[in-house]
Chains A and B, each alone.
Chain A
Amino acid sequence: MIELQGITKVYRTGSQSLEALRGISVKIGKGEFISIMGPSGSGKSTLMNIIGCLDTPTAGEYLLGSDKVAGLTFDQLAAVRNRKIGFVFQNFNLLPYATAWENIELPMLFDGKNGRRRRERVTELLNAVGLYEWRGHRPSELSGGQQQRIALARALANDPPILLADEPTGNLDSKSGEEIMAILTDLWRAGRTIVMVTHNDHIAAHSERTIRLFDGQVVA
């Protein structure tokens, strides 16, 4: 499903360069639940961004399904992010002026889905995360846990096969964190591939496998 071969990412600022990833090779099969761990600066987020097609590697090859990601245009990458990958961020990244309903609807708007399909799917997702009653509320009117559940629902809007979660419980209290992890686990059990970045061993324990990074390389 996801195959990274010899991925290197170098950031250049003026005459200085920083090697964030050094020849990483990773395979993630369909339906796997993977956690990526490592200290700050180890390259976790960079790896996540490359897997999520938000960034491109300096060297190496990334196969997503049968697609070579390196050859895709900006808008083709946007289409991949829209249909194949769902993002869950540590700080939720919901649009502040949009309601819960509208936030969930947005990826479907970019995909060009019609009104009826959007309405059905948003209703289904809001019910699935238990927040249908909160559909007209803006993020500032929701708790952290509720916001992350809305963010999760948004990530699932176009029914992507892959979910990328970057510290999904990092800004939540333990109860809300457990709720989110329960939903992620259910999604994995339902057949979705989940890649999660975390600092927390307890959270990582929910995954099948952990990839540990240090200094831009896979150490375990």
Chain B
Amino acid sequence: MNLTLPRFFWSEYRKRRKKAALITFALFWGTLSILLLMAFGQGMTTQFQVAFSGFGQTLIMVYGGQTSLPFEGLPKGRPISLYPEDVDYLKDRVPEILRIAPESYNFLQVSANGKEINRTVHGTTAEFGLMRTQVPQMGGRFLNADDAAEGRKVAFIGWKVAADLFGSADPVGKPIVIDRIPFTVIGVLQKKIQDSMYNGPDAEQVHLPFHAYQQIDNRRRINQIHIQPREASQSKIIEARVRTLLGRKYRFDPEDRYATSFWNTIEDAKQGQAIFKGIEIFLGIIGALTLLIGAVGVTNLMYAVAKERTKEIGIKLAIGARRRDIIQQFFLETVFVFAKGTFWGFITAFNVVHLIRLAPINYDSFGIDAYLLRPEFSLQIFVAYTAILGVLCFLSGIFPALRASRANPIESLRYE
């Protein structure tokens, strides 16, 4: 390998180290900014997905309502309620449904260990746990099919309920009394971040097998039905089919938007992801603009270098340098200045992200920390960063290099 040209470059570069220091810092700062901003943007998008999946995975919730249109001789204004048998009715008729579960709830007194609190208590089935991300802590479990089949009086409780009633002790296997009926705790919800909810976060809920719940709350109608499609793309089809089937069963116009209502989290997730992707891109642009300031500095430096080296360029042209030899020389220097600044920016950004990720998230009060404390790098970020850096490096180097390469040999030789 021929090291003469790099050696020439290094001898020249050393003379300008002090001048280049500020520009190196600008590139360092630009790289740090762009990488951190993109890492925060990516982290927030991921945390949004995590928080959203904390509520549920590709979930559609169906609620009853009140008719707003007359239908087949029936007046408008009739209340439409959902009942436990609607679950099987819909599952048998809508092949796109993967999972389905009923849910009823009420605000009830919950006591254990000599402590008494009021919490929302839910009655549901095992499938609810899979759909609503009810992941148990070690040593426990969520409700299962046998609980329903055998009419077990068991309860799955949120981690805040566990803390409120049992402190730091393990509640699994211990008794809990709900509205004067004793239950056994079979599991405690693992800590999670959750940005969507009804009746408060899952940390503060108590879940019972549906039939056991009905012994406390004897209302026939249920609050809602949870549906998980086989494919997320089928959510709109499912909505239409459910509305048609329920309309046929309860005799309302399938076009009546108020007879039943839907909470389609799949559509919400799409919108949320689009917003966070927008934030991510916006942050990336701000970072790129910061890096641009460094790149402008490099361009100025390289123009100054080209002027300083006019004589040298003249000598080289006189002894046979081609335009590309001069361009190569300037590019090499531009790449070096860029590489030096961006390398340290890269290392610093990597370490800053690593350190921030070590900070714990407060699961008890879901807040901004859950979004900000989990910045992350991805291949996408590195590809975007490399592309932006490549373009800026090229643009910073090309114009001074072209100007230098177009120098007039005679005028350059005369330059002092």
Which A residues have a C-beta under 8 Å from some C-beta of B?
A: 49, 52, 54-55, 74-75, 78-79, 81-83, 87, 89, 93-95, 97-98, 102, 105-107, 109-111, 115, 154-155, 158
Q: Are A55 and B410 in contact (CB under 8 A)?
A: yes
Residue of A nearest to B413 (CB): A93
Q: How far is the CB of B336 from chain A (nearest CB, A)?
A: 16
Given contacts A54-B410, A95-B312, are A105 and B4 in contact (CB under 8 A)? yes
Q: Can you spell out 6 A-B residue pairs with CB atoms less than 8 angstroms apart?
A: A54-B413, A79-B320, A93-B318, A95-B312, A109-B2, A110-B325
> Contacts A75-B322, A87-B318, A110-B319 hold; do A95 and B410 have CB atoms under 8 A apart?
no
With A54-B409, A54-B410 as contacts: A82 and B320 at CB distance below 8 Å = yes
A111–B321 Cα gap in the complex (Å)?
8
Write the nearest CB–CB distance from B159 to chain A, whole angstroms.
69
Report if B317 contacts A (CB, 8 A): yes
CA A110 – CA B315 in complex, angstroms? Answer: 12
Contact A98 B11 (CB under 8 A): yes
Within 385-416 of B, Cβ neighbours of A (below 8 Å) are at 409-410, 413
Residues of chain B within 8 A of A83, CB atoms compared: 320
- Answer whether residue B8 sits at the interface, using C-beta atoms and an 8 A cutoff: yes
A107: contacting residue among B7, B11, B311, B319, CB under 8 A: B319
B323 adjacent to chain A (CB < 8 Å) = yes
- Residues A106 and B409 in contact, CB atoms below 8 Å apart: no
B255 to chain A, nearest CB (A): 76
Majority secondary structure, B binding face: helix
Q: Which residue of B lies closest to A157 (CB)?
A: B319
Nearest to A155 among chain B residues (CB) is B319
Given contacts A54-B409, A55-B410, A109-B2, contact A81 B8 (CB under 8 A): no
Report the minimal beta-carbon distance from B324 to chain A, rounded to whole angstroms: 8
Query: How big is chain B's contact interface, by range?
Result: 20 to 34
Output the least CB separation between B191 and chain A (Å): 63
Partner of A79, one of B4, B322, B413: B322
* Docked-complex contact B8 and A110, CB < 8 angstroms: no
A159 to chain B, nearest CB (A): 13
For B319, the chain A residues whose CB sits under 8 A away are 81-82, 87, 106-107, 110, 154-155
Quick one: given A81-B319, A98-B11, are A49 and B4 in contact (CB under 8 Å)?
no
Which of A52, A93, A98 is in CB contact (< 8 Å) with B8? A98
Query: Which residues of chain B are near A95, meaning CB under 8 Å?
Result: 8, 312, 315-316
Q: Which of A75, A93, A109, A115 contacts B315 (CB 8 A)?
A: A93
B12 CB-CB contact with A under 8 Å: yes
Q: Look across to chain A and name the residue whose beta carbon is closest to the beta carbon of B3.
A: A115
A55 surroundings in chain B (CB, below 8 A): 409-410
- Across-interface contacts of A111 in B (CB, < 8 A): 320
Which of A49, A74, A82, A97 has the most B CB atoms < 10 Å from its CB? A97
Q: Identify which of residues 307-342 in chain B touch chain A, using a CB-to-CB cut-off of 8 Å.
A: 311-312, 314-325
- Among residues of A, the one whose C-beta sits closest to the C-beta of B405 is A74
The yes or no answer to B5 lying at the interface (CB within 8 A) is: yes
Contacts of A87 in B (CB 8 A): 318-319
Chain A residues near B318: list those with CB within 8 A: 52, 54, 81, 87, 93
Q: Contact at A109–B4, with CB atoms within 8 Å?
A: yes
